[in-house]
């Protein structure tokens, strides 16, 4: 990547090439139209994608305008009545939406608090495994749940946690406890969300840290062993500081998506008894919009989420660029 | 390593291996139990607790799944959306990524920003739903294929890979008078096979697993996909009593609900389980490709 960035800028190359060809065209004076015509095959390649992005990504953004309207399907965005910030005012004073907002942030916070360190710890543990075959086998197995949909994983979880036939309650009963209906219990539902999310993404999330660990200098370890440092000391003083930059960047990027509390997961696991603790912005948007047909209100909630999400992504990307000296970040 | 391990180090090794074995068991057990439940007899399936093995194998739950009136349609539709969505997504991604990777292409920074912006900001659920409605794609497979086909993230990964290919490799073809489309097809794409393979796999898994768009955009049974079929058996549990989903023969001993659910889960899982061990390294490699800054 950096190699091609250091290549000569085009202005420096093109004039010479033209001179050699005996033409005296100053590229700065070439009209934009001329440039496009010179690259007509590239334009042809760009067009399908451009049209796709305009229709399927930018038209819906234009549709966000309906959050400032009382949208009617018959009149469309052009004809519907403008109502200003009415829907936003409603949302921010609606106890229901405030609860949804609180749930979203709380679930996300817990997922970051427990779910973020988990793959780091797993990577550190796997790094201590010397038997290559065993290591590869454990990696293959722990990556596996990442490749299944939350519909399937939701089904697995429902079976495992079933109060009558599930294995978890069988173990509880074995030790003389009372069976717990985990998925319908307000106190248990959020911890279950956090635990199952970790279970699904733990192995996959460790890949990036395994790569960072593989990049650490083995000579430093050899020197430490000469100095008599044990495995624990090596991990504490060499391994951990070595992967810290990766950890920091991953954390910053993760915080940028704090309003995504996991729609796929919750939508496949929740039920009315636990709505109070598990209703998040995305499930609220779905129910308001596609079940109650309050398009404008629902879109306002979506807009609220998108705008805060954008601000967070911009902020966190700025921070991660700053932190890593421009090495990391999405762009 | 030649250095003799201390007692503490040996204990640490033991604990580490024990932990990893336990972790692998918790990962594998749910899938194993599902497999066993799907072939257990009614009495066994209704029993509590561990389902490590079955002494009375009974395949009636699988038969019930295969007898379902929608299963063939669901399989065909899932293959159509997976192949169609992946092919369309790859076509758009590759053709758009190439001009964006060319320094000489006018306004390429603007077009790249146009793509990247959609990663950070989007219209969201309702405006997209209304778009699909206005395009008259409602209750067609196109609604499943088109809106989600292109991932801006993957497009940028491909673009970055194209940028990293030395221009000199394309020069020879250019001197011979080949146009950009020919160069992309004959020179650039063959060199980009690793990244194209990874992105293709990601898109395929994404299409295969996608279910929420089916919930939103389709209602007719003829547009059923496997994930929705699974969802109505396992999550909403509306399928069992629905004659368009399941055949209901009152006079026959029915397999346990748990067994039918398990059979449905295994049926949808098996294709991924079969290809996964062979393709795992490509999936994982892609994570690192994606980590390169563009």
Tokens of A245: 């930059």
For the stretch A237-251, pLDDT in tens is 889 998 988 898 888
Within 8 A of B279 by CB-CB distance, chain A residues are none
Q: What pLDDT score does B110 carry?
A: 96
Provide φ and ψ at A69, rounded to 5°: -130, 170
Identify the band that residue A324 occupies on the pLDDT scale cut at 50, 70 and 90.
low
Strand partners, A81: A70
Q: At residue A39, does pLDDT exceed 80? A: yes
Average pLDDT, integer, range B74-95: 97
**Inter-chain touch A165–B47, beta carbons under 8 Å:** yes
Q: Collect all residues with Cβ–Cβ distance below 8 Å to A3 and sequence separation of at least 6.
A: B164
Q: What is the DSSP letter of A24?
A: -
Residue from B101, B202, B166 nearest A3 by CA: B166
pLDDT digits (tens, 9 = 90+) for A208-218: 899 889 888 88
Domain-embedded: residue A46: yes
* Residue spans per domain, chain B: 7-68+249-291, 71-222
Q: Is residue A284 part of a domain?
A: yes
What number of C-beta contacts closer than 8 Å exist between A and B?
Answer: 285
Q: Which whole number is the average pLDDT over B31-51? A: 85
pLDDT tops 90 at residue B170: no
Residue with tokens 């990964």: B157
Q: Kind of pairing, strands A81-82 and A69-70?
A: antiparallel
Whole-model pTM: value is 0.87
**Residues A304 and A164 grouped into a single domain:** yes
Q: Which residue of B has its CA nearest to A145?
A: B27
pLDDT of residue A192 exceeding 90, the answer is yes
| DSSP output for A256-283 | TTTT---HHHHHHH--GGGHHHH--HHH
Is A82 exposed, middle or buried, given 0-12, 13-18 or 19+ CB atoms closer than 10 A?
exposed
A222 and A290 share a domain?
yes
The whole-angstrom separation of Cα B30 and Cα B7 is: 36
**The predicted structure's pLDDT at residue A104:** 97
Mean predicted confidence (pLDDT) in B33-57: 84
| Most confident among B36-40, B58-62, B84-88 (mean pLDDT) | B84-88
- Has residue B37 got a pLDDT over 80? yes
> Would residue A57 count as lying in a domain?
yes
What is the pLDDT averaged over residues A60-71?
93
Question: What's the pLDDT band for B263 if we cut at 50, 70, 90?
Answer: very high
Residues A51 and A69 in one domain: yes
Residues on chain A touching B263 (C-beta within 8 angstroms): none
- Minimal CA separation from A203 to chain B, in Å: 10
pLDDT, residue A100, reads: 96
Report yes or no: A180 and A163 within 8 Å, Cβ to Cβ: yes
Q: Are A207 and A264 in the same domain?
A: yes
User: Domain check: are A233 and A202 in the same one?
Assistant: yes
**Partner-chain contact B127 A302, CB within 8 Å:** yes
- What residue of A is the nearest CA neighbor of B9? A231
Give percent of chain A above pLDDT 90: 58
In terms of domains, do A144 and A235 share one? yes
Secondary structure class of A70 (helix, strand, coil): strand
The DSSP annotation for A122-186 comes to HHHHHHT---HHHHHHHHHHHHGGGGS-HHHHHHHHHHHH-TTT-HHHHHHHHTTPPP--GGG-H
Contact A151 B31 (CB under 8 A): no
Q: Is residue A250 part of a domain?
A: yes
Q: Would you call B50 and A167 a contact, using CB atoms and an 8 Å cutoff?
A: yes
Query: Which structure tokens are listed for A200?
Result: 């699904």
**Does a structural domain hold residue A328?**
no
User: A91 and A80, same structural domain?
Assistant: no
The topology (CATH level 3) of B71-222 is MetI-like fold (1.10.3720)
Residue A224 contacts residue A237 (beta carbons within 8 Å): yes
Interface test with B, best of A45, A78, A224 (most B CBs within 10 A): A45
For B98, the token pair is 């190439």
Task: Based on the fold, state whether residues A18 and A40 are members of the same structural domain.
Answer: no
Please state the ipTM of this predicted complex.
0.90
Does residue A300 register a pLDDT over 70? Answer: yes
Answer whether residue A121 is part of any domain: yes
Q: Structurally, how many domains does chain A consist of?
A: 3
What region does B165 belong to: left with phi over 0, alpha with psi -120 to 50, or beta? beta
What does the DSSP 8-state code read for residue A58?
I
pLDDT band at A264 (very low <50, low <70, confident <90, very high): very high
At A48, is the secondary structure helix, strand, or coil? Answer: helix
CATH code, domain with A195:
1.10.3720.10
Query: What is the average per-residue pLDDT within A124-141?
Result: 91
Sequence-distant (≥ 6) Cβ neighbours of residue A255 within 8 angstroms:
A112, A312, A316
Q: Are residues A22 and A35 in the same domain?
A: no
List the single best residue of B99, B117, B124 to mutate versus A (max A Cβ within 10 A).
B124
The candidate with the shortest Cα–Cα distance to B225, out of B204, B238, B208, B242, is: B208
A200 and A100 together in one domain: yes
**A327 chain-B contacts, CB cut-off 8 A:** 293
Q: Are residues A205 and A222 in the same domain?
A: yes
What is the 3-state secondary structure of B176-191? CCCCHHHHHHHHHHHH
> Does residue A77 lie in a domain region?
yes
And the tokens for B253? 């001993």
CB nearest B102 (choices: A42, A199, A307): A42
CB contact under 8 A, A57 and B118: yes
Domain extent at residue A134: 86-323
CA pair distance A239, B40, nearest whole angstrom: 48
Q: Which residues of B touch A66 (CB under 8 A)?
A: 126-127, 130
| Residues B173-197: tens digit of each pLDDT | 888 888 899 999 999 999 998 889 8
β partners of residue B178: none
* A123 and A52 part of one domain: no
- The alpha carbon of residue B143 is apart from the nearest alpha carbon of chain A, in Å, by 11
Contact check, Cβ <8 Å, B95/A60: no
DSSP tag of A239:
I
Query: Between chains, do A151 and B91 touch, taking CB under 8 Å as contact?
Result: no
pLDDT of residue B257: 87
Pick from A134, A155, A329: CB nearest B265:
A155
């Amino acid at each position: 990547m950096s190699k091609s960035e250091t290549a000569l800028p085009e202005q420096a190359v093109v004039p010479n090439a033209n001179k050699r060809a005996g033409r005296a065209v100053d590229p700065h004076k070439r009209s934009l139209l001329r440039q496009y015509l010179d690259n007509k095959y590239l334009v042809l390649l760009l067009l399908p994608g451009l049209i796709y992005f305009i229709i399927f990504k930018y038209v819906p953004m234009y549709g966000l305008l309906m959050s400032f309207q009382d949208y009617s399907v018959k009149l469309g965005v052009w004809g519907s009545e403008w109502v200003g910030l009415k829907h936003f005012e409603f949302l921010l004073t609606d106890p229901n939406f405030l609860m949804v907002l609180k749930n979203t942030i709380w679930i996300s916070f817990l997922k970051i608090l427990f779910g973020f360190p988990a793959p780091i710890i797993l990577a550190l543990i796997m790094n201590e495994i010397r038997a290559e075959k065993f290591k590869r086998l454990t990696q293959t197995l722990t990556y596996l749940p990442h490749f299944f949909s939350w519909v399937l994983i939701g089904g697995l979880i429902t079976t495992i946690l079933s109060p009558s036939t599930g294995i978890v309650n069988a173990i509880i009963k074995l030790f003389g406890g009372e069976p717990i209906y985990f998925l319908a219990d307000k106190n248990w539902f959020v911890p279950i969300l956090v635990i199952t999310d970790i279970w699904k993404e733990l192995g996959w999330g460790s890949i990036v840290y395994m790569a960072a660990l593989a990049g650490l200098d083995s000579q430093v370890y050899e020197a430490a062993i000469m100095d008599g440092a044990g495995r624990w000391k090596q991990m504490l003083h060499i391994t951990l500081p070595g992967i810290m930059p990766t950890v920091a960047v991953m954390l910053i990027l993760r915080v940028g998506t704090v309003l995504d509390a996991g729609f796929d997961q919750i939508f496949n696991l929740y039920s009315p008894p636990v709505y109070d603790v598990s209703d998040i912005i995305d499930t609220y948007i779905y129910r308001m919009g596609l079940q109650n047909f309050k398009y404008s209100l629902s879109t306002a909630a979506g807009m609220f989420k998108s705008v805060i999400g954008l601000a967070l992504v911009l902020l966190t990307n700025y921070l991660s660029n700053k932190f890593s000296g421009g090495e990391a970040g999405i762009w | 390593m030649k250095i003799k391990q201390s007692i503490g180090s040996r204990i640490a090794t033991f604990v580490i291996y024990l932990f990893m074995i336990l972790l692998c068991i918790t990962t594998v057990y749910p899938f194993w139990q599902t497999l066993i439940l799907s072939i257990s007899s009614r009495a066994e399936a209704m029993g509590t607790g561990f389902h490590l093995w079955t002494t009375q194998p009974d395949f009636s739950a699988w038969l019930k799944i295969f007898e379902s009136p929608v299963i063939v349609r669901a399989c065909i539709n899932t293959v159509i959306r997976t192949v169609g969505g992946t092919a369309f997504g790859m076509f758009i991604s590759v053709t758009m990524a190439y001009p964006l990777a060319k320094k000489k292409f006018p306004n390429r920074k603007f077009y790249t920003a146009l793509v990247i912006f959609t990663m950070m900001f989007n219209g969201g659920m309702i405006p997209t739903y209304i778009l699909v409605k206005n395009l008259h794609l409602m209750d067609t497979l196109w609604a499943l294929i088109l809106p989600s086909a292109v991932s801006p993230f993957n497009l940028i990964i491909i673009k970055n890979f194209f940028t990293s290919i030395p221009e000199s490799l394309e020069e020879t073809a250019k001197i011979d008078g080949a146009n950009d489309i020919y160069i992309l097809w004959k020179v650039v794409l063959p060199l980009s096979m690793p990244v194209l393979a990874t992105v293709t796999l990601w898109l395929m898994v994404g299409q295969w697993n996608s279910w929420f768009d089916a919930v939103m955009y389709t209602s007719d049974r003829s547009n059923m996909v496997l994930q929705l079929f699974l969802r109505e058996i396992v999550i909403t549990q509306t399928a069992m009593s629905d004659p368009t989903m399941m055949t209901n023969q009152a006079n026959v001993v029915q397999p346990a609900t748990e067994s039918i659910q398990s059979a449905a889960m295994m049926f949808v899982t098996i294709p991924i389980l079969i290809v996964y061990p062979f393709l795992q390294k490509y999936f994982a490699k892609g994570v690192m490709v994606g980590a390169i800054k563009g």
